[in-house]
Amino acid sequence: MISQQATAANTGLETAVAVGVEIAGVGHHAPEQVLSNDDLAEFMDTSDEWIRQRTGIRQRHVCDPTKGESATWLSASALKQALDNAGVDPGELDQLILATVTGEMLCPSTACRVAAEVGARGCAAMDLVAACSGFVYGLNLAHDQIRAGSARTIAVVGCDVMSTVMDYSNRAVSVLFGDAAGAAVLRACDDPARGKLASCMHADGSKWRDLYIPTRNDHIPQGADRSMARVNSVQMNGREIYKFAVGTFSGLIQETLDRAGLNAHEVDHYVCHQSNARMLEAARERFGLPTEKMYINIDRYGNCSAGSVPTALSELRAMGRAQSGETVMFVAFGGGLTWASSLWQL
């Protein structure tokens, strides 16, 4: 029976008292360099019209490595903003969870470097790999640790530098992605009604071939083109992912609503992974939601993988929306395949 006492002693939290969890601050950052659809059309066989009609994307931000722009830089910029926004000192962080599939290197984790960069020395830090669902996975894990009393303040960052895994000779994939990071600082609070109302997390590894980044040519399935040009770049079966995403997206929203005992209209905001504007519109129409409930920024960013949900949240908050007292559902799906949701009373 030492575990509860030890937990309370480690964190200073009274485990007998229900703990609320608030999203105390948010931030986001994208590189200055922008690639418009017309810019892409200058060096590949594509057009602004094709890209906009199929995806809703007009432009994407892309890091410039010659200026030292990297996953660490993007993540640290977003996290510094989120800490400022929350009024939280970096030294107060118990943990930093960084969702990414484009970390700087295998070891150390990018999270360790970001923690050092923002001055959060000593806080636990780790990378989480769940592709586009990574930030939502991280949000759920961070929330549950705070509610359980094993941490008080956790930063969750979603960052992907997709330009580092893009083969710009593959027009079917490279027009879709961009670089960005977003961050949220989660903190224990006195009001137990605040925090997660329901969440879902899923994966189906049997479909990994529909979206993956090979790091050796023997990762590429037999029978497919195993040329080295494909190594270290995103390989995607666009039609299969589209089918998976359309089906999963609505199913996931319904599953989360059912768990919370709410109907779709009782949720104030749906903050969704920005993979394709057509998919988002289809889900919105299926639930009969007004446009203002489902924020879309894919036109300016493209698909930023784990960076997309926190960037959308940070932009919404900057506009005075998704504020305390409102309900927000986070929804994402991506490589793995993975899919996850998190429904909050803010």
Interacting residues with ligand ACO (CB under 6 A)? 46, 50-51, 54-55, 132, 171-172, 175-176, 211, 236, 238-239, 241-242, 245, 275-276, 303, 333-334
Residue 136 or 186 having the CB closest to ligand ACO? 136
Residue 51 or 188 having the CB closest to ligand ACO? 51
What is the rounded distance in angstroms from the CA atom of residue 153 to the CA atom of residue 262? 28
- The alpha carbons of the chain give a radius of gyration, in whole angstroms, of 20
What is the rounded distance in angstroms from the CA atom of residue 4 to the CA atom of residue 276? 45
Tokens read off for 14: 């009274």
What is the rounded distance in angstroms from the CA atom of residue 170 to the CA atom of residue 234? 9
Active-site residue flag, 303: yes
- Classify residue 116 as exposed, middle or buried by CB count within 10 Å of its CB (0-12, 13-18, 19+): middle
Active-site residue flag, 132: yes
Residue 104 or 210 having the CB closest to ligand ACO? 210
- Classify residue 223 as exposed, middle or buried by CB count within 10 Å of its CB (0-12, 13-18, 19+): exposed
Q: Which of 273, 276, 297, 304 is catalytic?
A: 273
What is the rounded distance in angstroms from the CA atom of residue 119 to the CA atom of residue 113? 10
Q: Supply the minimum distance, in Å, between the C-beta of residue 118 and ligand ACO.
A: 28
Residue 83 or 211 having the CB closest to ligand ACO? 211
Q: Supply the minimum distance, in Å, between the C-beta of residue 68 and ligand ACO.
A: 27
Q: Supply the minimum distance, in Å, between the C-beta of residue 332 and ligand ACO.
A: 8
Longest dimension (CA), the chain: 67
Q: Which of 63, 112, 123, 132 is catalytic?
A: 132
Q: Supply the minimum distance, in Å, between the C-beta of residue 86 and ligand ACO.
A: 28
Q: Which of 37, 85, 276, 303 is catalytic?
A: 303
Q: Which residues are annotated as catalytic? A: 132, 273, 303
